[in-house]
Chains A and B, each alone.
Chain A
Amino acid sequence: MTTRPIPLLLALIALALPLSLLAGRVWLDPASTPNAALILAELRLPRSLLALIAGAGLGAAGAAMQGYLRNPLADPGLFGIAPGAALGAVAALWFGYANSAWLIPLFALVGAGGAMALLAAIAGRTGGIALFTLAGLMVASLAGALTALAISLAPNAFAMESIVAWLNGALTDRSWREVWLAAPLVLAGIALLRAAGPALDALTLGETVARSLGVSPSRLLWLLVLGVGLTVGAVTAVAGIIGFVGLIVPHLVRPLTDRRPSRLIGPSALAGALLVLVADSAVRVLPLMTELRLGIALSLLGAPFFLWLLVKMRSGRL
């Protein structure tokens, strides 16, 4: 089935956005809630926009990664950029900058940039996909180990608690500042990933054929590193680690497209935006003692989905 997913997803976002603005521990009634306009403009709207931006970046990065690795189980986390960004943010928290609104995302962006530079230094020259994947895994596990070290050597209980809380991504208490920081980087990243689309299509026939069609492996690799780096790096910098979106979303969207990797990136960005918007609205509404962290909620949703995917693959229906 090939439908036109972009108008459908835009319509769903147009439907979900107003609901998300009203949803929360306190449901907004613009007519009667005191300070409704202020709450909307300063709290709900930036948070909802940030959810859209984060989801769009993660969805597009996931679609591009699956196209690049020709594997439906690939996830943007494989490149080690999200763990690198997380390590940067953890460093900021470790040094006691928990209350500094700018320093945490800036440290995270430096961490993402460091992971990108390391990847490019190891694998950038040859452009081989296998080497690149291994390098990404190593960067991810190095960043993960350093993050664990930072937690175990945390200078005080407050730092440890804030690190652990931050690692489980969330959009709580985010403001316009985060929106302005993430939006341009994520949009630039998505544009780079879309530019990689034709080369990803050629990669459908394997690396050798792609090269015979004029694809430059190193140019493609740079587009991917920068595109995934900007999207995932910026999202992680403002929201912490939000897993599984990049894995789930391309799967949900693929049957609505003709399955060409280039045709999956735009719809995955929109579907990712919709998923994170809905999930973030849901965690606000759930009647729990404290708000469920978005990263945890999406992992709770994502892990069973991943298992279902594996079962489906085993029975050869994927």
Chain B
Amino acid sequence: MTLSAHNLTMARRLANVSLALEPGTITAICGPNGAGKSTLLEALAGLIAPDLGHVRLAETMLAAMTPRERARAIGYLPQRAEIAWDVPVRSLVELGRMPYGDARAEPVEAALAALDLAAFAERRAQALSGGETARVLLARVLAGEPRWILADEPLAALDLAHQLALLAHLRRAADEGAKNRTGVVLVLHDLALAMNHADRAVVLHDGRVVADGPCEDALATEVIDRVWGVPARWLGEPGQKALVVG
């Protein structure tokens, strides 16, 4: 089901943002620091109420859904990892089942396996490295089998191999999904990762959408020059492009 934003406006953070996101695709939200990327993601997840405008899931207003209905549909991963207690990894992944009120083993095991965490399940959270923690937190989102996965910089703490593995997993989720095709929205700083792995890019600048479309267009060098203020060149073949700046 489509996730759409209609004229989202928040003082000093978002200005009249409208988007229609389709399931089965990976959308990258890009932009310089302070552009409003995380705010947009939180608004799409229904976690902050915009001053004006609204978010819809298919035809339903997100604000009109119960917290549990919303949580079943949308899995949200924030940028900052925060684990208050030294609990076992498995119990963190099981939290993903909370909107269903069950701790069904099957999706939990699948999420652990998908992120290469089966061997870590009984470890304590505080014994994990930064990259392992990032994978555990994403596994928590996957265990909820949401229709939409909204993740803020999920790749930042990961090494190259795990970045690629995670993107491949998100691609599988988008192509097949647990029940239906899942929609994936990622806030990404790394424009090359966005170019090579996303289907679509939305570029934000000062809270406004300044480019939206296939990555080749939305992340074209003119856009990068205009928005980030740096001269840039794309090298290489589609799917394996590298960005040279300066």
Residues of A within 8 A of B (CB): 70, 198, 201-206, 208-209, 211-216, 258-261
Contact = CB atoms under 8 A, between A and B. Distances in A.
Nearest to B144: A213
Contacts of B82: 205-206, 209
A236 B212 CA distance: 61
Question: Which size bracket describes the interface of B in this complex?
Answer: 20 to 34
Nearest to B74: A212
Nearest to A2: B88
Interface stretch (B4-12, B90-98, B104-112): B90-98
Given A208-B78, A209-B76, A259-B85, A201 B95 contact: yes
Interface in B138-163: 140, 144
A216 B65 CA distance: 12
B183 to A, nearest CB: 16
B21 interface: no
B95 A205 contact: yes
Interface string B125-142: 000000000000100100
B68 interface: yes
Q: Is the interface of A mostly helix, strand, loop or mixed?
A: loop
Contact of B68 (A214, A260, A261): A214
B71 interface: yes
A260 B47 contact: no
B75 A260 contact: no
B47 A204 contact: no
Contacts of B87: 204, 258-260
A113 B85 CA distance: 31
Contacts of A212: 45, 47, 71, 74-76
Contact of A205 (B67, B74, B92, B144): B92
Contacts of B119: none
Most interface-central of B72, B85, B137 (chain A CB within 10 A): B85
B99 interface: yes
A261 B95 CA distance: 13
Interface of B: 42, 45, 47, 66-68, 70-72, 74-76, 78, 80, 82-88, 91-92, 95-96, 98-99, 137, 140, 144
B85 A261 contact: yes
A205 B95 CA distance: 9
A260 B70 CA distance: 25
18 contacts: A70-B84, A198-B98, A203-B84, A204-B85, A204-B87, A205-B92, A205-B95, A206-B80, A208-B76, A208-B78, A212-B74, A212-B76, A214-B66, A214-B68, A215-B67, A259-B87, A260-B87, A261-B85
A205 to B, nearest CB: 6
Nearest to A212: B76
A81 B184 CA distance: 46
A13 to B, nearest CB: 26
A9 to B, nearest CB: 20
A201 B91 contact: yes
A260 B85 contact: yes
A202 to B, nearest CB: 6
B140 A205 contact: yes
B97 to A, nearest CB: 9
A202 B98 contact: yes
